[in-house]
Amino acid sequence: MAENRNLHAANRAKKDEFYTQLSDIENELRHYKPHFKGKVVYCNCDDPRVSNFFKYFSLNFEHLGLKKLITTCYKNQERDLFSRHDSEKAIYLEYEGDRDGNRRPDPHEIAVKHLNGDGDFRSAECIELLKQADIVVTNPPFSLFREYVAQLMEYDKAFLIVGNQNAIAYKEIFPLIKENRIWLGYGLGGRDMLFDVPDDYARELVETKKEGSAYRIVDGVIKGRLGNAGWFTNLEHSKRHDRLVLCENYTSEKYPKYDNYDAIEVSKTKNIPKDWDGVMGVPITFLDKYNPDQFEILGMDRPLIKKLTGKQSRFWLNGKEIYARIIIRNKQL
């Protein structure tokens, strides 16, 4: 049993050590420029000297009009991107912009400061840095996503973070989505999210996984692939208010009701009927098209069935349990 626990912990650690590519950061951040003027940005899960988040914000400091950039990393004082996290103390960096007129961050302009502890985002001194921040932008450990988001909520921080989209269904996360306190970011436009990974994990991927599924090779470099990774935020962006054009008409044959819940099944977001004013179940991928001005989120399958019947179940259709569904209604009918 102990060996199994250790194995699971090791696997979580490997999956947590996925480092976001600069191209993905650039593609997402370009949709949020107005939010950053005069703000303090905090990246609290990044090796500050090699993080692509630090690189992006320091290189674009003047362009974004930032006030300050702060970055910290758990148990790391090394310049290696994939630290062993074996240093008992950590550092953090502060950058307040270009001072010599060359419009780039030079070493003498970056303040390197030592933390008393290990740089864990939950530590008291990292929380003090968090309190200084206006916006948090980072790739937190996926295994600590619930706890990480809870901290952002507790301190009422604006944020843009990378997460596993399975987190949508977490009991701690979905209510925040339902209440419009968190939503999906602008998105990847149908592209997979690729990450830099440690050399030993890259070798393991090649030896045990299928190329194109768990990893891809880009310019000879092995990149970890997470097809279900994406951005979570509470920053407004233009796509969030794009109206979803509806073309389908409702018929009872095309849109059957669930066996165990009074709502119609809509198997694809593009098939939402334009003339149905009742409740309907849609895939969780609907959230990528969710416009809160057009739709209202009422709940998710398992909690709704639990409340209705006292049993843990998803929706059933024609005698079969189907995959996760979000219950919505059209507010404009």
Is the Cβ–Cβ distance between 215 and 15 less than 8 Å? no
Is the Cβ–Cβ distance between 37 and 64 less than 8 Å? yes
Is the Cβ–Cβ distance between 295 and 240 less than 8 Å? no
From residue 168, alpha-carbon distances to 71, 213, 235 in Å are 27, 22, 17
Question: 83 Cβ partners below 8 Å, 6+ apart?
Answer: 47, 73, 75, 76
- Tens of pLDDT, residue by residue, the chain (333 residues): 333 333 233 344 445 456 788 889 999 999 999 999 999 999 998 766 668 899 999 999 999 999 999 998 766 444 333 334 444 568 889 999 988 888 888 888 999 898 998 889 999 999 999 999 999 999 998 889 999 999 999 999 999 999 988 899 999 999 999 999 999 999 865 567 777 777 777 778 787 877 777 777 887 778 777 667 889 999 999 999 999 999 999 999 999 999 999 999 999 999 999 999 999 999 999 999 999 999 999 999 999 999 999 999 999 999 999 999 999 999 999
Query: How far apart are alpha carbons 97 and 102 in whole angstroms?
Result: 11
Q: At what angle do helices 22-29 and 52-59 cross, to 10 degrees?
A: 50
Which structure tokens are listed for 274?
Answer: 């334009």
Strand residues in the chain grouped as ranges (E)? 19-20, 40-43, 68-72, 91-95, 110-114, 135-138, 158-164, 183-184, 193-196, 215-218, 221-226, 229-233, 264-265, 280-282, 295-300, 316-317, 320-321, 326-330
pLDDT computed for residue 7 by the predictor: 27
Counting Cα atoms < 13 Å in the Cβ hemisphere of 307 gives 7
CA 271, 277, 282, 286 torsion-angle sign: positive
pLDDT computed for residue 188 by the predictor: 63
pLDDT computed for residue 323 by the predictor: 93
Amino acid at 47: D
The pair phi, psi for residue 71, each rounded to 5°, is -135, 140
Is the Cβ–Cβ distance between 162 and 139 less than 8 Å? yes
Is the Cβ–Cβ distance between 139 and 160 less than 8 Å? no
